[in-house]
Amino acid sequence: MKMTLLAAFFLFAFAIVLQAQTSGSPTVAEAEAFMNKAEARLAELSVKVNQANWVHDNFITDDTEALAAAANDEITAVTSELVEQAKRFDGVKMPADLARKFLLLKLSLTAPGPKDPALRREMTEIAASLESDYGKGKYCDPSAKCLDITAIEKVMSDSRDPNQLKDVWVGWHAIGAPMRKKYSRFVDLSNQGARDLGFKDTGVLWRAGYDMPPQQFDAELDRLWEQVRPLYLSLYTFVRVRLSQKYGPQIVPPDRPIPAHLLGNPWAQAWGNVFPILGLPEHSSGYDLTDLLKAKNLDAHGMVKYGENFYKSLGFAPLPQTFWERSLFVKPADRDVVCHASAWDLDNKDDVRIKMCIQIRAEDFVTIHHELGHNFYQRAYKDQPLLFQNGANDGFHEAIGDTIALSITPEYLKQIGLLDQVPPPEADIPILLRQALDKVAFLPFGLLIDKWRWQVFSGEVKPENYNKAWWDLRLKYQGVVPPVERSEADFDPGAKYHVAGNVPYMRYFLADIYEFQFYRAMCREAGHKGPLNRCTFFGSKPAGTKLNKMLEMGQSKPWPEAMEALTGQREADATAIIEYFAPLKKWLDEQNKGMKLGW
């Protein structure tokens, strides 16, 4: 009996020592086993979350909001717990692929939840509530006619009455005020979750996802902005002069910032809708894409088919039948939906969809090509492990569809039967100007959204200064001002979906640079000769093969390697956008002689 007890004691002691050695000195094999289980668990949960969010965004009710909040809370909790467990493997020398998975796991939450379950649940409920506030937002005019964001965008696109534009602008921005207190609490809770993961705040966590230290990333953004800023100032100065001529110097002073409600868009983020009032001869570009689409009597389904056919022409497989059965193309008349265009991958395999409230117009034709870029990217990397199923960085994901959209040239429109004759070279200036009103005008807006949020997350901007800081940045980078005096009773950032929905925004700025870099590379691959802006690689299998090589990598390698696979370059380079718009820049500078540049 004594020998049995002694043996049991030694066995117990040996087990304790073995456990201590295992927990204190984990192996690569253990790390790999942990990661395999983590990816399997997250894959299962992501489908549940995607389905809940899809239903919520397409059927906005208190119940779907609660279901979405619960699903998001669960995956936030599981991810946070997995990140906590993964700390055990800190310091283990791993193969590069495995080490990258551990890093990406840590960076996978854009809204990291606090460890405390009650606080985490509070944060996910606030997040769902903010998205609902935005989705249900409306402006009711004096006649009690209520407009949702789709109708508001149309008014601000078409109206030339500055008073009506001001009223609609103010009415839409009023939806932000009720979000203010909730957003402040959301920031506090998200920051607490980021600190639990070892980051100073949520903004630092976001910036850590670009394969370089956050400070280096900040410097990279400033470098890119300085490359494109002269082009923006030339465009800005020309537009302000023409708006002043249209509305009068009392409304648009010729040497002051531009009022934000006069730029054809609720957020003054893209200015293409003011093209008709900039003084160029009517139909000077040789065609109006909206008119061409309407002349074909297209419906929303037909619009999307054009987008799919472009990708097919590059060698990509057709979209699955479920895409056509399950996507949302038209705004339902009987319920609230989040109309902001988005692309979805519900099962990390083949259940890809888009959600749009499509109108038969040029803007939506371009947006369809953009959103499908997400879907074809998702399908290209679907065989990668779960944590590599993403863009090389988030700017890549946004840039793919925009690269394709740059190929919506007159040459492309003729090839697909929308245009009978390609306009002569003298039409290039109006075509480039229309492009610049969307692409170049967007650059500072794309930059400032997250610059504001990073200041909010860091505490540099306090809740009592949210709106002032917002408009300070909009003036600094965009040169726009609100049409009426704003105060801290307002919360104008909340009138932008990506703030209410907690979607990081720097990806769009980066995409606006990357897309021209990708486009130039694909044009070269397609054998294009002549001005860059005249290129379409529609139908080029070599260009499609080169693109697919990059897309299939997903996030398995640092983004400079993915960039190199398509472009041969390992850094972002704005010279492509400068080259693309070079004829326009020369023309704008001639128009602006004697004018004050900037504001």
- The active-site residue, picked from 65, 153, 398, 525, is 398
**Please, are residues 596 and 234 in contact by the beta-carbon 8 Å criterion?**
no
**Structural element, H or E, at residue 352:** strand 352-355
- The active-site residue, picked from 412, 477, 508, 519, is 508
**Structural element, H or E, at residue 587:** helix 582-591
CA-wise closest residue to 529 among 537, 539, 538: 537
According to DSSP, the β-strands at 258-259 and 146-147 are unpaired
Q: How many C-beta atoms surround the C-beta of residue 362 within 10 A?
A: 20
Active site residue 261: no
> What's the CA gap between 240 and 253, in Å, rounded?
8
- The active-site residue, picked from 30, 77, 151, 498, is 498
Q: How far is CA 445 from CA 267, 406, 467, in A?
A: 9, 20, 16
Taking each continuous run of H as one helix and of E as one strand, the counts in the chain are 24, 6
Residue 384, judged by CB atoms within 10 A of its CB (0-12, 13-18, 19+), counts as: middle
**Please, are residues 274 and 266 in contact by the beta-carbon 8 Å criterion?**
no
Active site residue 236: no
According to DSSP, the β-strands at 342-345 and 352-355 are antiparallel
- The active-site residue, picked from 56, 261, 374, 528, is 374
Output the six-digit token pair for 68. Answer: 């979405």
DSSP per-residue string spanning 251-306 = TS-TTSPEEGGGSSSTTSS--GGGGGGSSPPTTTTS--HHHHHHHTT--HHHHHHH
First to last CA, the chain: 93
Output the six-digit token pair for 540. Answer: 């080029």
> What's the CA gap between 32 and 9, in Å, rounded?
33
Task: Tell me which amino acid residue 80 is.
Answer: S
- The active-site residue, picked from 341, 427, 469, 582, is 341
- The active-site residue, picked from 122, 371, 515, 525, is 371
- The active-site residue, picked from 56, 173, 340, 397, is 340
Active site residue 498: yes
- The active-site residue, picked from 56, 261, 369, 370, is 370
Active site residue 341: yes
Active site residue 397: no
Active site residue 340: yes
The percent helix, strand, coil of the chain (3-state, each to 5) is: 65, 5, 30
- The catalytic residues are 340-341, 370-371, 374, 398, 498, 508
